Amino acid sequence: MVIGALLGLVSGGVVGLLLGSFVGYQIDKLVRRFSGVEQWTQEKAQKAFFDATFAVMGKVAKADGRVTEAEIKYAEAVMARMNLTGDRRQRAIDCFTKGKQSGYEITDVLEPLRRALGRSNASAHARMMFVEIQLAAALVDGQFSPAEGRVLSEMCQLLGVSQAEFEQVAARMAAEHSFHQQHAGGADAAAQADEIEQAYGVLGVAQDCDNKTLKQAYRRLMSQHHPDKLVAEGLPDEMMQLAKEKTQEIQAAYDVVKRSRK
């Protein structure tokens, strides 16, 4: 558009400037359309995130051949934590139902999400939050199966998440799943030892790390899961509660580790 305006100004003065700007704008639109580059508003990004969340969740749930009661309850729990009612809840159910249909291609919802979030670091936190939500769905029964793993692997490829990034998040999510159960469980010595071990896993650090490394990991995770930052990157407003719960889990793990070091 700028180039068109400048050429128009040189060749035709003010009238040429306006005409050149218009022609340049139209050419720019065509280039963006055919190159797959679009202008994504926050509203569009949030819609893409919302639809993809429940469609992929349905695909993950169906990966083993049948959707279990635990997987249905998890999806319903997510909807409840998001306070979805009326049309919004029905949209989530429809996306989940679509995702669990035989032969459903997650590319249909992940390609719009990829374009909305982009591949830059600007939306990296929202992208990883999406991965964490799907991992939590797969870990409902304590671990994800090979079939679920294949769906998650395809998801990561479509979103531009590396294998190393996925493995790192998967390790933290597995630890978080166990930590949540330990934290709400018994208080005997063995349980406390397991809880401390899982707390380190939630923070993604080794038990023999120094205090500086521990604090850095804690602050980095808290920053990555800050609700306001995630919403600005494309996380739907209704999912702020999920982000808040993440920060609470991280805080709880950090508190357990700190107490164990006194």
Give residue-wise pLDDT tens across range 106-163: 999 999 999 888 755 557 899 999 999 999 999 987 778 899 999 999 999 999 999 9
DSSP H or E stretch at residue 244: helix 240-260
Q: What is the pLDDT of residue 117?
A: 83
- Given a cut of 50, the residues of the chain with pLDDT beneath it are 1-10, 14-23, 25, 31-38
Structure tokens belonging to residue 229: 């930052």
State the Cα–Cα distance between residues 226 and 242, nearest whole angstrom: 11
Q: What is the pLDDT of residue 39?
A: 54
How many C-beta atoms surround the C-beta of residue 90 within 10 A?
Answer: 11
Which amino acid belongs to residue 172? R
Residue among 139, 249, 233 nearest 241 (CA): 249
Structure tokens belonging to residue 132: 């964490």
State the Cα–Cα distance between residues 238 and 123, nearest whole angstrom: 18
Q: What is the pLDDT of residue 23?
A: 46
State the Cα–Cα distance between residues 241 and 81, nearest whole angstrom: 7
Q: How many helices (H) and strands (E) does the chain have?
A: 12, 0
> Any idea which fold 179-260 has?
Helix Hairpins (1.10.287)
Q: What is the pLDDT of residue 4?
A: 38
Do residues 64 and 148 lie in contact, with contact meaning Cβ atoms separated by under 8 Å? yes
Structure tokens belonging to residue 53: 């969340």
Q: What is the pLDDT of residue 14?
A: 47
Do residues 182 and 191 lie in contact, with contact meaning Cβ atoms separated by under 8 Å? yes
Q: What residues contact 78, with CB distance under 8 A and at least 6 apart?
A: 53, 57, 133, 242
Which amino acid belongs to residue 26? Q
Structure tokens belonging to residue 65: 């051949």
How many C-beta atoms surround the C-beta of residue 20 within 10 A?
Answer: 22
